[in-house]
Chains A and B, each alone.
Chain A
Amino acid sequence: MGVTVKIPTQLRSVTGGEAEAVIDGATTVGEVLDRLYERYEGLRDRISDDGALRRFVNVYVGGEDIRFLDGLETPVQDGDEVTILPAVAGGR
């Protein structure tokens, strides 16, 4: 069943409007993103810079920020949900 990636509205112009993508066979968040970059042209430059995520991009696995886990090395398995969101929100 693979890993489900939730795509934010700001990136849907490069995913042809898709709000979700399912990635099979990836074992880490970094691999999930690499597969996404292969699938959607132009996505890589939007959220990454020199192989690292841009500083205003947040990625979550099962709702947990990957910076609390192992970053791009965070393991994923079938059934996991990966969410990409802009970091720019908040102010309570």
Chain B
Amino acid sequence: MAVEALRCKECGERYPLDARYVCERCFGPLEVEYDLSAIDASALRARIESGPASIWRYADLLPFATPPASPLPVGLTPLVRADRLAERLGLGEVWVKNDAANPTHSFKDRVVAVAIAKARELGYSVVACASTGNLAQAVAAHAAAAGLDAYVFIPADLEREKVLATGVYGAKIVAVEGTYDDVNRLCTELSAEREWAFVNVNVRPYYAEGSKTLGYEIAEQLGFELPDRVVCPIASGSMFTKIARAFDELVELGLVARPERGGPIFCGAQAAGCAPVAEAFANGWDVCRPVKPNTIAKSLAIGNPADGPYALELARRSGGTIEAVSDREIVEGIELLAETTGIFPETAGGVTVAVLRKLAEQGKIAPDERVVVLNTGEGLKTLDAIADAVEVIRIEPRLEAFDRAFGLAGAAAS
């Protein structure tokens, strides 16, 4: 196992592998540091390929000295070749990484599985989070599977379905009167006062590592090759940067080669109603100006993105971009993916597909590129988004009524 220490991404200061997330010297974020030099690549590949059908097949590259027991399997979700989507957009090769196929139907199962495994290793008996839905459900489910108590802090106006889909696992739900950013600030303060593992606060460095498994899986599922381009949603910016880190590690290990044309190119996707990272990208800023979110893509509505500066650096360094799309384009993106692949994404997936479409229409994607687009959540989580887009034709239970509605009278006989 290669895990070494926590290291500040800003100033390089090192810390032991305990529950901390911020550098005491400069307030920079901490990241898990590994020493990959002693890993034999071919032996690692064999371990991966013979490993469990879950994220734990990549345990060598996750922050544990020994692979943890994890009672609810996560990951190894399908990478689906989307030829009809590619054809519709005039592209050559498009794949959809469908992370809706996780236990609580979003990519959050990855980060939470890692965070809760770490919380148990560190001796915590209570886990908590600030969330607007996907994270809440994942924390509640994985805590239930592990036998830990869970406190989930949500904005008080959260939709009923999301509250119920969290509460069913037995988590204590705390409705906070405020926005997500208020809830997050409260949890940051609480994390200093309670001996709890807040998955996206004091164990965040480990939590964030879970997103690397998306990158490992994409590479493995492409036959240990990297795509030319990744289109990925951005909320805090953490997943976006961790997929790149996963690819970098695989290259460093010699398990994959860089694509011949260079890259992969990283393109980030945001909703126009909450686009602090896209705005900073467009203006050439290296930090984000926080915004007050107003979009249907609520799972991406972080107005104050913690990893914004690193997401900006990655998009620029890789030759990519960060684009924003309107709520209308998001709904069209949901429909486009559903109609061409049979995969029904939540609004975040609609954002990502809409940005893919925008880039394709702008001619920014070469016809021979291999593109991977991420769907990070299940469409049933955000049904309201498409309520006005679905047409139902109502008829009486008679053949003539059907023929009248569809204008097919006599068609069957001809």
Contacts and interface: CB of A to CB of B under 8 A. Distances in A.
Nearest to B192: A9
Contacts of B10: 54, 56
A58 B304 contact: yes
Contacts of B299: 92
Interface string A65-92: 1011000000000000001011111111
Nearest to A57: B27
Contact of B235 (A11, A55, A91): A91
B306 A87 contact: yes
Contacts, number: 104
B131 interface: yes
Contacts of B25: 46
Contacts of A60: 185
Contacts of B181: 65
A91 B236 contact: yes
Interface stretch (B50-58, B199-207, B329-337): B199-207
Nearest to A88: B29
Secondary structure at chain A's binding surface: helix, strand, loop or mixed? mixed
Contact of A46 (B27, B131, B180, B290): B27
A91 B180 contact: no
A11 B71 CA distance: 38
Contact of A56 (B24, B27, B192, B235): B27
Nearest to A8: B192
B306 A90 contact: yes
A87 B27 contact: yes
Contacts of B275: none
B27 A86 contact: yes
Interface in B284-332: 287, 289-290, 292, 299, 301-302, 304-306, 309
Given A10-B27, A56-B29, A67-B290, A89 B188 contact: yes
A56 B22 contact: yes
Contact of B309 (A55, A89, A90): A55
Contact of B200 (A8, A58, A89): A89
A89 B306 contact: yes
Contacts of A89: 21, 130, 184, 187-188, 191, 198, 200-201, 204, 306
Interface in B334-349: none
Contact of B184 (A8, A9, A68, A90): A90
A5 B309 CA distance: 27
Contact of A85 (B131, B188, B238, B301): B188
A5 to B, nearest CB: 13
Given A10-B27, A68-B290, A87 B21 contact: no
Contacts of A51: none
Q: Among A46, A58, A63, A89, which residue has the most Cβ atoms of chain B within 10 A? A: A89
Interface string A2-15: 00001011110100
Contact of A92 (B22, B131, B191): B131
Contact of B22 (A10, A68, A83, A90): A10
B354 interface: no
Nearest to A58: B304
B403 interface: no
Given A65-B290, A67-B289, A91 B27 contact: no
A55 B9 CA distance: 12
A63 B182 CA distance: 8
Contact of A91 (B26, B208, B289, B292): B208
Most buried by B among A54, A63, A91: A91
Given A86-B188, A91-B200, 4 more contacts: A90-B305, A91-B235, A92-B200, A92-B235
User: Closest 4 CB pairs between A and B?
Assistant: A88-B29, A86-B22, A91-B236, A9-B192
23 contacts: A10-B24, A11-B24, A13-B24, A55-B287, A56-B27, A56-B29, A63-B178, A65-B290, A65-B304, A67-B290, A85-B185, A86-B21, A88-B22, A89-B188, A89-B201, A90-B130, A90-B236, A90-B302, A91-B200, A91-B204, A91-B235, A92-B130, A92-B131
Interface of A: 6, 8-11, 13, 46-47, 54-58, 60, 63, 65, 67-68, 83, 85-92
